[in-house]
Amino acid sequence: MPSSFGIVDLFAGPGGLGEGFASLRESGHATFRIGISVEKEASAHRTLTLRAFLREYQARHGILPEQFIDFHAGLLPEPDWSAVDAKAWRLATHEARALELGTPAAARAIDAAIKKLRDDNDDTILIGGPPCQAYSLVGRARSKGKVGYVPEDDERHYLFREYIRVLDRLRPAAFVMENVKGMLSSTVESRLVFEMLMEDLSSLGKRRGHQYELRAIRVEGGKAKLQEAAQPSDFIVRAEEFGVPQRRHRVIIVGIRSDLVSRAACAEVVISGAARTVRDAIEAMPALRSGISRGRDDASAWRQEVTKAAKQLAAIFRGKRDGHLRDRFLSVAQQMACGSAHLRSNSCLPDGYATSADALLYWIERPDLRAIAQHETRGHMVSDLGRYLFAAVFGDVRGYSPKAGDFPPALSPDHRNWHSGVFNDRFRVQLFDEASTTVTSHISKDGHYFIHPDPIQCRSLTVREAARLQTFPDDYLFLGNRTQQYVQVGNAVPPFLARQIAALIRASLTGDDHRKA
């Protein structure tokens, strides 16, 4: 019988890291089983609970519930999941907990779950990572601007200590801690947070004889392995090296318990290392138009505004030096005049859906589905439509996203810092033939950093497109309002990456190497 590992997932968000681990199977056997996942934000917790329910239901019945497929397709409101399968729902609500880490209630719940995990599995794994706001460069810059802000009093700096407490209590076979790159340079009490963390991890378990050897994930020759880190930057994992269509770079620390570390020395797994692009992930999605946030919002008004912007830009770039740009803007204007505007939402499955053997699409597309969910656009200001159109055409013609200085003066926003360099990338198009830039929670604020590469659609990315760049399967529903959905997607670990890390952890703990992730 293959080994089984019970998982404690802290700061779980919508469950991206846990999804990758829970999805890994060997001869039909789930190697990793989530015993408890903890998330305090209400909408993310709802998402986490629904996913736990679907996992339990599929384990019991082998299929997705028909009620979910209809709910996913928008054919009925959210059902009472306890009426669909009472036992699966009870197990899901016991697994996914809405708790604030660091509180007595959370500590009691986790400690109770630890005992059951030990009884039901061969060993355990701890995964997750403290919130990134206090560590991220942007977060620190914003916090410094707050009146009376004192870094030493910001409890987010110390939330990793709760991760350490659980690690000491659980004594798992391995742990995986994920955070932003800014963690490497963040300081508090005149010390690097990363140094404090490494000291805590290194000293852990000395009295109990269960110390941990810390390892970085190394990619070489299409395979991933664990290695000792020579410097902090060795812990940075680049998602695009694992076949994720996104340049997402995060600190990931792996700890292997000292009594098991000899097995990890030669372990390696084949990864999905082919370079993937935005086109791979979202080109087949139904085309949409954006909305107009102020004033008349219908297909005709939108088409008129985009056509007008295209003609104005063609006139601005009428010189020979910019002939390619001019021609593209004229082409957009002609297409707008001749064709009908797209819908603002479209749930139709693309042609050939769920039939591809491509590793990424095989992971994302799910044959049980009847529709694409959460693929609807936001409204944009009319003035921003011209900027989105310019960015998309410029990116297609020049092969890179325009900086502030590339925009014609007629499109300059009324912002005093526009030409200061501070907002040089305020409007950023995601290029079809490259991996996207990092999908972050900022996508919930506006779409300026996540402009769709197709000028004819002239819009920002939908929740589902962002989720696909994050490699969430199409049957992964994000609950809550649209802003909350964007936040959940941006804060998550790409599940396709997490699955490959899980395969490496399995190989490292069982001694079975050369497995494909």
Spatial distance between the Cα atoms of 156 and 171, rounded to a whole number of angstroms? 24
Read off the pLDDT band of 514 (50, 70, 90). very low
**Parallel/antiparallel/unpaired status of strands 249-257 and 268-270:** unpaired
Spatial distance between the Cα atoms of 23 and 32, rounded to a whole number of angstroms? 8
pLDDT on residue 451: 97
Strand partners for 30: 25
Q: What would the mean pLDDT of 313-331 be, rounded to a whole number?
A: 88
What CA dihedral angle connects 84, 491, 17 and 360, to 10 degrees? 90
pLDDT on residue 331: 95
Cβ contact 453:402 at 8 Å: no
Read off the pLDDT band of 57 (50, 70, 90). very high
Q: What would the mean pLDDT of 144-166 be, rounded to a whole number?
A: 66
pLDDT, the chain, mean = 90
Cβ contact 254:245 at 8 Å: no
Spatial distance between the Cα atoms of 508 and 327, rounded to a whole number of angstroms? 56
Find the angle CA(500)-CA(504)-CA(507) to the nearest 5 degrees.
Answer: 135
Better-scored residue on pLDDT, 89 or 164: 89
Query: Is the pLDDT reported for residue 438 higher than 80?
Result: yes
Residue 405: count of CB within 10 angstroms of its CB: 9
Domain coordinates in residue numbering, the chain? 5-39+97-276+493-516, 278-491
Query: Is the pLDDT reported for residue 219 higher than 90?
Result: yes
pLDDT per residue as tens digits for the range 167-207: 999 999 999 999 999 889 888 778 888 888 888 887 776 66
Spatial distance between the Cα atoms of 328 and 314, rounded to a whole number of angstroms? 8
The percent of residues in the chain predicted with pLDDT above 70, rounded, is 90
Spatial distance between the Cα atoms of 407 and 405, rounded to a whole number of angstroms? 6
The percent of residues in the chain predicted with pLDDT above 90, rounded, is 73
Q: DSSP 3-state assignment of 124?
A: strand
pLDDT per residue as tens digits for the range 347-367: 999 999 999 999 999 999 999
Query: Is the pLDDT reported for residue 506 higher than 80?
Result: yes
Region for residue 74 given its phi and psi (left: phi exceeds 0; alpha: psi -120 to 50; beta: otherwise): left
| pTM for this predicted structure | 0.93
Query: Is the pLDDT reported for residue 132 higher than 60?
Result: no
pLDDT per residue as tens digits for the range 445-481: 888 999 999 999 999 999 999 999 999 999 999 999 9
Tell me which architecture the domain covering 5-39+97-276+493-516 has in CATH: 3-Layer(aba) Sandwich (3.40)
Query: Is the pLDDT reported for residue 499 higher than 70?
Result: yes
Spatial distance between the Cα atoms of 185 and 164, rounded to a whole number of angstroms? 20
Q: For 414-451, give the DSSP string.
A: S-TTTTTSTTTTSS-BPPTTS-B----GGGGT-STTSB
Nearest to 339 by CA among 224, 456, 427: 456
Which helix (H) or strand (E) segment is 163 a member of?
Answer: helix 160-170
**Centroid of chain to Cα 222:** 23
Q: How many residues does the chain have?
A: 517
Query: Is the pLDDT reported for residue 147 higher than 70?
Result: no
Spatial distance between the Cα atoms of 106 and 97, rounded to a whole number of angstroms? 9
pLDDT on residue 318: 85
The phi, psi pair for 9, rounded to 5°, reads: -115, 110
The phi, psi pair for 437, rounded to 5°, reads: -75, 175
Q: DSSP 3-state assignment of 476?
A: coil
Find the angle CA(453)-CA(409)-CA(288) to the nearest 5 degrees.
Answer: 25
Least confident segment among 81-90, 115-124, 275-284, 363-372:
115-124
Q: What would the mean pLDDT of 292-296 be, rounded to a whole number?
A: 87
pLDDT per residue as tens digits for the range 102-115: 889 999 999 999 99
Better-scored residue on pLDDT, 180 or 28: 180
Better-scored residue on pLDDT, 2 or 127: 127
What CA dihedral angle connects 424, 427, 431 and 436, to 10 degrees? 80
Query: Is the pLDDT reported for residue 209 higher than 70?
Result: no
Cβ contact 47:19 at 8 Å: no
Read off the pLDDT band of 27 (50, 70, 90). confident
